[in-house]
Amino acid sequence: MTQERFTGSFTQQEPIPESGIEAALAVLRHGRLHRYNTAPGELAEAALLEEEFAALTGAKYCLAVASGGYALGCALRAVGMRAGERVLTNAFTLAPVPGAIAAAGGRPVFVEVTDDLVLDFAHLEEQARATGARLLMLSHMRGHLCDMEALVALCARLGVTIIEDCAHTMGAAWNGVPSGRHGLIGCYSMQTYKHINAGEGGFLISDDAEVMARAILLSGSYMLYARHRAAPPPEVFEAIRLETPNVSGRMDNLRAAILRPQLPLLAGRVARWAALYRVLEAGLEQTPGLRLIPRPAAESWVGSSFQFSLPGWSDTRIGAFLARCGARGVELKWFGADQPVAFTSRYDHWHYAEPTPLPQTDRVLKGLIDMRLPLTFTEADAAQIARIIRAEALAVGQAEEAALAAEARAVRLPD
């Protein structure tokens, strides 16, 4: 019997909407790509995008920048991180998060994660007290939100300021509060594999006037900050404009034009991702040896990726499973691999951060499998992928059981 094989692409995103293409062409035709290069009476695409994203999230202020990684570094500088200062962050995250801390002059301090892929609050408190860290760069890694109300209360008690990395949670919420609105600053990415697509791009949002004024100056506004529409009033800039360095990372009008028509599509995209995610979840439930990640009732998540765990599996068994799935067209990533592969790496790979072993996180990541879920997939695609993963998990398990049984029989045979 011929095995079914998935033929879709795990890296193919939806095309840019026609309205975004037309808006981009208009910018290319007039040539005013720099956000501060406008004709008389013209409102820059970047300024309009900031205003619209602030309204979407309910934030007072918004700044559009060149990338999500730049947004993280800019946020750290805007809150006054000092050179060499320790910054708490999840041990389960991607390289741009500790990279932003290090690039801004800080020292990452990794916090253990739980089996549900969120911060371990007890270890967070331990690390905060041991290091005196006053900043937490909270990575909502792969779209998993921790109990945000409990975290805010804990950080308030510890005197720790929260910066949210919402690269995987644009459109998500905790108890109805949008991701990015619990911390002092929320940072977002518009890289191709995120929830709106400009190839690269980032946002910062905040309700704090001075912090946002610093971020705008840092981003390279020169003395043109009055041209921002989702910004604090000019008088907030007066006290800090001569003491804040220019670390240029502005968004340009071309990318802003591509992004603006995508903002109204975000809610629909979130709903479509949820449908794909639920199909996968249903198809993999009660697969022997495979653990799904539970989603709390308070969490409204964006299912642009899917994770599951293979607890207790050996490296050899996981490798065989990944190879068999790959041979059938299902591309899976493994956070337990010894070496970084493409976008996938983990805390102990980042030697510049001088990480110390985290046994709980090591155990969690050892069996953690990750998969992109682009909106070019249909629900039928998701169902097929689930069938393949389930079949190969069972096949590898059965092969291992047969090998163990054969080994046991060999041991029992007389000489």
pLDDT in tens, 339-355: 999 899 999 999 999 99
Q: Is residue 356 part of a domain?
A: yes
pLDDT in tens, 120-162: 999 999 999 999 999 999 999 999 999 999 999 999 999 999 9
In-domain check, residue 13: no
Give the CATH number for residue 123.
3.40.640.10
Tell me, yes or no, whether 11 lies in a domain. no
274 and 238, same domain (yes or no): no
Q: Do 368 and 273 reside in the same domain of the chain? A: yes
What band does 37 get if pLDDT is binned at 50, 70 and 90? very high
Taking the mean position of all CA atoms in its chain, how far away is CA 159?
A: 25
Task: Give me the number of domains the chain comprises.
Answer: 2
pTM of the model: 0.94
Q: Which of 235, 265, 295 is the last residue of a domain?
A: 265
C-alpha angle with apex 177: 174 to 179, nearest 5 degrees?
A: 70
259, 321: one domain = no
Q: What is the pLDDT of residues 244-260, one digit of tens each?
A: 999 999 999 999 999 99
**Both tokens of residue 37?**
């290069």
Q: Is residue 12 part of a domain?
A: no
Residue 364 in domain: yes
- Give the pLDDT confidence score for residue 398 in this predicted structure: 77
Closest C-alpha among 176, 186, 181 to residue 75? 186
Which domain CATH number covers 280? Answer: 3.90.1150.10
Q: How many residues does the structure list for the chain?
A: 415
Distance CA(171)–CA(177), nearest Å, equals: 10
Final residue before a domain boundary, out of 240, 265, 290 = 265
Position 9 in a domain:
no
Q: Quote the pLDDT of residue 2.
A: 78
- Residue 1 predicted with pLDDT over 90: no
More confident residue, 99 or 404: 99
Is 220 in the same domain as 75? yes
Look at residue 68 in the predicted model and tell me its pLDDT. 97
Region 84-99 average pLDDT: 97
Mark whether 255 and 275 lie in a shared domain.
no
Average model confidence (pLDDT) across the chain: 95
Under a CB-based contact definition with an 8 Å cutoff, are residues 186 and 79 in contact? no
User: Token pair for residue 154?
Assistant: 């804990």
More confidently predicted of 10 and 412: 10
* 205 lies in the same domain as 297: no
Each residue of 59-80: pLDDT tens digit? 999 999 999 999 999 999 999 9
What gap in Å lies between CA 260 and CA 255, rounded to an integer? 9
pLDDT of residue 390: 98
295 and 228 share one domain: no
Q: Is residue 411 part of a domain?
A: no
In terms of residue numbers, what domain contains 332?
Answer: 266-406
Residues 221 and 278 in one domain: no
Of 265, 296, 318, the residue that ends a domain is 265
Q: Where are the beta strands (DSSP E) in 4-82?
A: 61-65
Task: Please tell me whether residues 296 and 391 are part of one structural domain.
Answer: yes
Same structural domain, 250 and 281: no
Same domain, 167 and 228: yes
**Whether 354 and 244 share a structural domain:** no
Give percent of the chain with pLDDT exceeding 70.
Answer: 96
